[in-house]
Amino acid sequence: MATVNDNYDKLAAGYLFPQIAKRAKAFSQNNPGVKLLKLGIGNSTEPLAPAVIAGLKLGVDKLAKVETYTGYGDEQGDTRLRKAIAAEYAKLGATVADNEVFVSDGAKPDVGNVQSIFSPDCIVAVQDPAYPVYVDTNVIAGRGGNYDDKRGRYDRFVYMPCTEENGFFPEVPKQKVDLVYICSPNNPTGAVATKEQLAKFVDYAKKNKAVIIFDSAYSQFIKDPELPRSIYEIPGARECAIEINSFSKSAGFTGVRLGWTVVPMECVCEDAPAGKLNALWNRRQCTFFNGASNIVQEGGLAALTQRGQKECKETIDYYMENARIIREGFSSIGLKVFGGVNAPYLWVKTPKGAKSWEFFDILLSQAHVVTTPGAGFGPHGEGFIRVSAFGHRQDIIEAVESVKKNLKI
Ligand code: MLT
């Protein structure tokens, strides 16, 4: 008799972004002809850089000739791309070897899958609010315990509050935990951890033989040269941190799909000596994954060339200008706005203590603007909404003007 993984029944709600899409669709059906302005999901909208298009075309052309055709590639990724990614870390003054880089079809699957190399007994700490994949995948793996409806929490997770008071970056946990998820620049708050703040977590992880899962998918959006783009800029991080990054937002690969995970050889935990976590992730990828698309990897290589980086940066600057327009527009009507300076997300406090979903509905019905309710990211997201700066400039301007004109607060 087959039975299902009943941890799925413990998931508190449907996955956040489809839930929002459902509400937006219902609004459109009830209000035909009304244009919705979407600042909800962080989905890239601008065309790929010409250098990247040339790389992708090269990948296609290679498949057209017997001399250059390739079938399955290395599960870990094309060696040229692994080397190019490792070289990017060297530019930050961080050491990463190419055999520590595992290319994948995106950061989200890696963020979800990485927990599978750890024991189901591990205690997990998450920033609160957090990108829902950290929580949901650990619930599915059985690490969440039960969901407490009243408190909006799972009873086996350690929640690290990210509040206005602490600048949306938490203190290290008071108790011993095993896996610590950190996202910087942060989705959803847009806050970026300083080197000092990350150093505290590295110290904590080394003392407790914990492993940090560091999600740096938005690192290319950091403008401030003092802020770390990789956890490996912090001394000692190679011994305790796995880092996951993506081409999705930095090069517009949300639909193309390409990312990577770094598992340093020195990275250890309680029962894993040096090299073991790297070997386990390698085993996991070889078993479950046949390598990223060869065409897409050519595109990724092109994105990392000097020309590719210059062109991709122009698109990042475009989104960051969107962020500035949103920040200034929302602030001008008295809304309290955080983030959006070194990250493409803005974290907006709801006026008059409104609940996140209430304010989401108000923005939708009064201004026809779709956002993401902060409560969807965890209990400390209550009282905020997240606004995404990904969008066409004209839509961003229209959305901001509509909020300024129509929102009654
Ligand atoms: C978001 O809106 O948080 C992201 O687009 C979701 C993702 O990257 O998976």
Cα end-to-end span (Å), the chain: 57
What average pLDDT score do residues 150-172 get?
96
pLDDT of residue 141: 98
Q: What is the mean pLDDT of the chain?
A: 97
Distances (CA, A) of 80 to 56, 151, 217, 302: 15, 48, 21, 11
Give the confidence band of 12 by pLDDT, cuts at 50, 70, 90.
confident
Q: Would 350 be classed as within a structural domain?
A: yes
Q: What is the pLDDT of residues 341-374, one digit of tens each?
A: 999 999 999 999 999 999 999 999 999 999 999 9
Hey, which of 45, 104, 135, 187 would you mutate to test ligand 1's pocket, going by the most ligand atoms within 8 Å of its Cβ? Answer: 187
Residue 395 sits in a domain whose CATH number is: 3.90.1150.10
The pLDDT-based confidence of 74 (bands split at 50, 70, 90) is very high
What pLDDT does 225 receive?
97
pLDDT band at 338 (very low <50, low <70, confident <90, very high): very high
Whether residue 382 sits in one domain with residue 332: yes
User: CA nearest 85: which of 304, 264, 313, 308?
Assistant: 304
Number of domains in the chain: 2
Please check whether residues 289 and 322 belong to one and the same domain: no
Asked if 66 and 90 sit in the same domain, the reply is yes
Distance from the CA of 40 to the center of ligand 1, in angstroms?
9
Same domain, 274 and 169: yes
What per-residue confidence (pLDDT) applies to 80?
98
- What is the pTM assigned to this prediction? 0.97
Rounded to the nearest angstrom, the distance between the alpha carbon of 254 and the centre of ligand 1 is 9
| Residues 101-137 pLDDT 10s | 999 999 999 999 999 999 999 999 999 999 999 999 9
Closest atom of ligand 1 relative to the 246 alpha carbon? 8
Please report whether residue 256 resides in a domain: yes
Q: State if residue 140 touches ligand 1 by the CB under 6 angstroms criterion.
A: no
- Give Cβ neighbours of residue 187 (< 8 Å, ≥ 6 apart): 42, 131, 215, 217, 218, 343, 345
CA 391 – ligand 1 centroid, Å: 13
CB-ligand 1 contact for 43 (6 Å cutoff):
yes
Residue 214 · residue 231 · CB < 8 Å:
yes
Only one residue has tokens 């809304």, namely 335
> How much of the chain, in percent, has pLDDT values that exceed 70?
100
pLDDT at 14 over 80: no
Same domain, yes or no: 27 and 64: no
Q: Which atom of ligand 1 is nearest to the CA of 17?
A: 2
The answer to the question of residue 88 being in a domain is yes
Place of tokens 């601008």: 46
Last residue of a domain, one of 284, 304, 324: 304
What are the E-state strand segments in 39-150? 101-104, 124-128, 147-148
Give the DSSP letter string of 307-344: HHHHHHHHHHHHHHHHHHHHHHHHHHTT--EEE-SSSS
| 187 and 118 in a common domain | yes
| Cα of 131 from ligand 1 centre, angstroms | 8
- Regarding whether 134 and 105 lie in a shared domain, the answer is yes
Ligand 1 atom at shortest distance from the alpha carbon of 40: 2
Cβ–Cβ < 8 Å for 356, 364: no
* Domain annotation covers residue 356: yes
- Residue 1 within a domain: no
* Nearest residue by C-alpha to atom 4 in ligand 1: 42
Q: Is the CB of 365 under 6 A from ligand 1?
A: no
* Shortest-distance Cα residue to atom 6 of ligand 1: 42
Task: Please report whether residue 4 resides in a domain.
Answer: no
Question: Which helix H or strand E contains 218, and what residues bound it?
Answer: none
Confidence band for 409, pLDDT divided at 50, 70 and 90: confident
Domain end call among 259, 282, 304: 304
Same domain, 190 and 161: yes
CA of 364 to the centre of ligand 1 (A): 20
Angstrom distance (rounded) from CA 309 to CA 312:
5
Say which amino acid occupies 269: C
21 lines ligand 1 (CB under 6 A): no
Span from the CA of 362 to the centroid of ligand 1 (angstroms): 23
Is 201 found in the same domain as 282? yes
If asked whether residues 284 and 313 sit together in one domain, one would say no
Looking at the fold, whether 149 and 63 belong to one and the same domain comes out as yes
pLDDT band at 17; cut points 50, 70, 90: confident
Give nearest CA residue, ligand 1 atom 9. 108
* Residue 156 domain flag: yes
CA of 325 to the centre of ligand 1 (A): 21
pLDDT in tens, 289-336: 999 999 999 999 999 999 999 999 999 999 999 999 999 999 999 999
For tokens 């520590």, what's the residue?
Answer: 100
Could you tell me the CATH number of the domain that includes residue 162? 3.40.640.10
Q: Note whether 126 and 234 are same-domain residues.
A: yes
Q: What is the pLDDT of residues 184-233, one digit of tens each?
A: 999 999 999 999 999 999 999 999 999 999 999 999 999 999 999 999 99
Question: 24 CB less than 6 Å from ligand 1?
Answer: no
Q: What residues make up the domain containing 162? A: 52-304
Last residue of a domain, one of 304, 327, 351: 304
For residues 84-90, average pLDDT? 98
Evaluate: CB of 28 within 6 angstroms of ligand 1. no
CB of residue 344 inside a 6 A radius of ligand 1:
no
Distance CA 141, CA 111 (A): 13
With a 6 Å cutoff on the Cβ, whether 246 touches ligand 1 is no
Q: Identify whether 47 is part of a domain.
A: no
**Is it the case that residue 404 has pLDDT exceeding 80?**
yes
